[in-house]
Amino acid sequence: MAEVSLCPPLTRESVQAAHKRIKQYIHRTPVVTCDTINTLASTPQSKRCPSSGPNVLSEPAPHDLRLDVKATRYSAEPNVRLFFKCENQQRIGAFKARGAFHALGRLIDEQGIDEVRRKGVVTHSSGNHAQALALAARTHDVPAHIVMPTISTPSKISGTQAQGANVIFSGSTSDEREAVVVDVMKKTGATLVPPYDHPDIILGQGTQALELEQQVIDLLAGNAKLGVPSKHGLDAVIAPIGGGGMLSGICTALQGTGIKVFGAEPNFEGANDAEIGLKQNKRIEKVKTLTIADGLRTPVGEIPWSIVTDKSKLAGIYSVNEDQIKAALRLAMERAKLFIEPSAAVPLAVMLYNEEFRELVQREAGPGGWNVGIILSGGNTTVDAIAAIFAPPVKVEQRTQATVGANGEKVVENVAG
């Protein structure tokens, strides 16, 4: 990659320059709204929970897993209008195309196209950056070597291979992936294009925030009823954080605009390393988790960490559990008709279910409310994978099909219907 010391500064102006560089290669993805989800997000959880009364909104509202916490305590009632930035409709199905095209373009400027083609590029990724770099490399006729964990989603593996990349498999942790990358570099001389920990990646990922900002202004100009009155158009943006390339890019793009930026993480098996790290005032370097939000299983990189720890750029990070992610995923698909992967559902889950965050929004926005951008980071999953996430336990399914008796015996019941 281009030397960090030679990279453009991490500023809004640099993100704007990055957007000019890559816009011919990427989609300006749409921004959509959903009245039903707006209503849910603006309704206290206690009023949309089956355990506290009629579930008139037909919405599963998971709460605290502790049995001593009653649903009625979840009373925050923020007034919000949500604007979904659909990066699930980006090329290769995720925002990562932005960073890959920008980073490879900068590398070509620095080394020359012939040298980059001679050496090739290499990276490690669970899937979205893998596909993005493979696409960017194919576009410029550059060889690409992609190290992927063996547990990567099959659709992401096949998508990377479809772009003509050489896929090499590794273990699931960052250490295991990086070890294989080093081996590939020794054998091929390929240049590493990291998935998130580099200024050129960060600046590329931040371009989606520039688009979202302007798109919301344009939408409200056409129909003011889509949002609440706001001098900025957008009041806040929530984005997922794994390695931190996207979130730090969005922080950089929106600095000085008055728009608050928040991060969203899963908390299964310590996947919320950024949230924990902020509380402990140190970057957590190792993460090993099998959260369903597979794109967020990595620790925050050093450069993104230097940005997200700046309180003038990031307003906070909040996390959600697996059930909450699944509930948000279901809502996005069934109510908003948005086909997204679990990682992309995490910001919506925070808006809907993290009571601390909901209380903050209610308190800071006041009765006037906020217009909130929700980054839907990608849609690289399959119908089979989604079905598996929502599949009932085997015995429950067998009981439903009458292949297991009421007492668990494996006999078919002949029940008159």
Q: Which residues are catalytic?
A: 96, 126
**Beta bridge pairs of residue 262:** 238, 316
Single-letter amino acid, residue 33: T
From the list 77, 46, 38, 78, the residue with the least C-alpha distance to 64 is 46
Question: How many Å apart are CA 29 and CA 129, to the nearest integer?
Answer: 18
From the list 263, 247, 268, 141, the residue with the least C-alpha distance to 201 is 247
Q: How far is CA 298 from the centre of its chain?
A: 12
Residue with tokens 């590939």: 184
Q: ∠ CA 353-354-360 to the nearest 5 degrees?
A: 125
Q: How far is CA 318 from the centre of its chain?
A: 13
Residue with tokens 């950056």: 129
Q: Are 95 and 249 in contact (CB under 8 A)?
A: no
Q: What are phi and psi of 76, to 5 degrees?
A: -60, 135
